[in-house]
Structures are given as structure tokens and as C-alpha cells.
């Protein structure tokens, strides 16, 4: 049996980058090409493979370059994942926060926000349903807002889910604590 590919997924701006940072801090090998540099929307970096959805669309086996590593594939990319062996952490976040964050990143107000909201809620639900139907995916659903409200409790769940990786839980929690500290200072 192939080694699992570990996938971090969710809607864009749902906290997938934070989970990647948490896992990297814990000692998990991260799949990143470093092409997308840190910016105001993600000051600690995106930790992703550039255009991964397009790459998977062209050749779905591309995903097997990341066996035993953790790679970010946002929800829309799931349709291109071939049969394999996956462990998935799927992140959810309050949909209004997701949309606010998208607007901030695009630097423009979404004039058809209710349509965008409807489309992304459907994408989120469809992806979760599809993941649950797939026998090659072991999934843990986590919530970004819950992680920020009680980091240790929720990161312990992730730690348990990845127990064979022997990650450093304290360092994982530090990433979220630092984020919360920065947020408080900015208020």
C-alpha cells in the first residue's frame, strides 16, 4: 500500500495556511515550492504548491509526488484527486469571515456577495459529502474559529489524528498563540 498523502483542505481563506504552519512547527514535512511569497494576507507564507489545481487537472498523479508529506489542496481541487491513500484535515471557518478575508485579499468589495456566499457554501458541503463517500480518505474536520478560541484542545485532536508522526504539540500550539497575540496587539 502506498504511503498516505496528507491533505490540508477547506475553502480558500478558511485557515488552511495556519494549519500548514502549525504542522510545520510540529515537525511535519511540508510540500511547498516557495513560489507564493508571504504578503499582508498571509504574513507567515502560504506553504503551498503554486497552481496545484491546474497541475492536478493536467495530471492527477502529480499528487503522488507528495507521499508522506502534507500538501494544501483547497476544496475545489478535490475533484481532481485520483484514487489513493489520503489523510485529510478539512478546515472550516465562519463563512462571513471567509468572504471578508477574500474581499480584503482582492482589495475590492464583492458586489455579488450573496451569490458568492451561496456558491461557496455549496462547494463546501459538496466537498465534505464527497470526502465522506471516498473510502481512500481518512478525514478529520476542524474549525478555525474553534481552534482560535481554545488552541490546545483542538490541536490535540489534530495531534491524535496524526499520532504516528510524533509531532511536537507544544510548538504547534505556539503558532496559534502567537497569531492570537499579534491579533490582540493590532486591536
Partner 1 sequence: MEKEFENVSIPTILYKKIEEKIKGSETKSVASYATKVLRESLSKEELTEEELSKEDEEKVKERLKALGYLD
What is the binding site for partner 1 (CB under 8 A)? 12-13, 36, 51, 53-54, 74, 76, 102, 105-106, 112, 115-116, 118-123, 125-126, 128-129, 149-150
Q: Closest CB to partner 1 among 2 and 122?
A: 122
The Cα-based distances of 103 to 90, 99, 116, 126, 147 in angstroms read 22, 6, 11, 23, 23
Longest CA–CA span in the chain (Å) reads 50
To the nearest whole angstrom, how small is the minimum distance from the Cβ of residue 166 to partner 1?
26
Closer of 146 and 165 to partner 1 (Cβ): 146
Quote the cell numbers at residue 62.
502529480
**Residues facing residue 92 across a β-bridge:** 143
Residue nearer to partner 1 on the CB measure, 2 or 35: 35
Shortest Å distance, C-beta 169 to partner 1: 18
Distances from the Cα of 22 to the Cα of 106, 122, 124, 151, 160, angstroms: 25, 28, 22, 11, 14
The CA distance from 61 to 48, in Å, is 17
In terms of CB distance, is 39 or 168 closer to partner 1? Answer: 39
Q: State the Cα–Cα distance between residues 94 and 10, nearest whole angstrom.
A: 12
Q: Least distance (Å) from partner 1 to the CB of residue 126?
A: 5
For partner 1, give the closer residue by CB, 3 or 180. Answer: 180
Report the nearest approach of partner 1 to the CB of residue 114 (Å). Answer: 11
Q: Distance between CA atoms of 38 and 181, rounded to whole angstroms?
A: 19
- Please state the closest distance from residue 1 (CB atom) to partner 1, in A: 31
Amino acid at each position: 500500500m502506498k504511503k498516505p498523502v496528507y491533505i490540508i483542505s477547506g475553502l480558500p481563506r478558511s485557515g488552511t495556511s495556519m494549519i500548514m504552519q502549525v504542522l510545520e512547527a510540529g515537525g511535519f514535512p511540508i510540500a511547498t515550492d516557495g513560489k507564493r511569497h508571504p504578503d499582508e494576507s498571509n504574513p507567515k507564507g502560504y506553504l503551498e504548491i503554486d497552481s496545484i489545481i491546474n497541475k492536478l487537472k493536467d495530471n492527477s498523479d502529480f499528487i503522488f509526488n507528495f507521499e508522506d508529506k502534507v500538501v494544501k489542496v483547497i476544496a475545489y481541487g478535490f475533484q481532481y484527486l485520483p484514487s489513493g491513500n489520503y489523510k485529510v484535515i478539512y478546515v472550516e471557518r465562519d463563512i462571513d469571515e471567509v468572504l471578508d478575508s477574500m474581499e480584503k485579499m482582492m482589495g475590492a468589495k464583492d458586489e455579488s456577495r450573496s451569490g458568492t456566499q451561496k456558491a461557496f457554501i455549496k462547494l463546501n458541503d459538496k466537498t465534505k459529502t464527497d470526502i465522506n463517500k471516498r473510502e481512500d480518505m481518512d478525514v478529520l474536520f476542524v474549525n478555525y474559529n474553534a481552534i482560535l478560541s481554545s488552541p490546545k484542545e483542538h490541536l490535540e485532536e489534530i495531534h491524535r489524528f496524526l499520532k504516528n508522526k510524533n509531532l511536537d504539540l507544544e510548538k504547534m500550539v505556539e503558532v496559534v498563540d502567537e497569531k492570537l497575540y499579534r491579533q490582540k496587539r493590532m486591536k
